[in-house]
Amino acid sequence: MDKASVDKAKKMLSQEQYNICFLKGTEPPFSGRYTHTKDKGIYECVVCKTALFSSSTKYDSGTGWPSFWEVINSKNIKLEADFSLGQKRTEVLCKSCGAHLGHVFDDGPKDHGGRRYCINSLALDFEKAK
């Protein structure tokens, strides 16, 4: 994102959302508004509204963050190596705007490919199915 777009995002996001999306922070476990959501719909990037995850792939991983076993479209995310905590993790970013969303791990449901997209609620908006 260019500086003007980041400045615009900073004005529209809460300080906590900005910290997660652009400073690569994380919300405390079990604190997010979508951690226990069971409604049907689509989870979107809070910054640019790109569709990221369907509620049909959301599951309770017990980790304290919304977890999904699959993205709506792999072209909507970007994966990057993250060594920020002294270990190698895979960061998940919105490909459209570059917002940090969370991380993906290989400890998800084996019957769904074994991936767990561990995503911050504050990086998401939810469009409830009609």
Which residues are part of the catalytic machinery?
118
41/127 Cα distance (integer angstroms): 6
Backbone phi, psi, residue 27, to 5° = -90, 155
Backbone phi, psi, residue 8, to 5° = -65, -45
What single string gives the DSSP state of each residue in 50-91? Answer: -EEEEGGGEE--SSSS-EES--S-GGGEEEEEE-TTSS-EEE
14/86 Cα distance (integer angstroms): 29
Contact 57, 40 (CB under 8 A): no
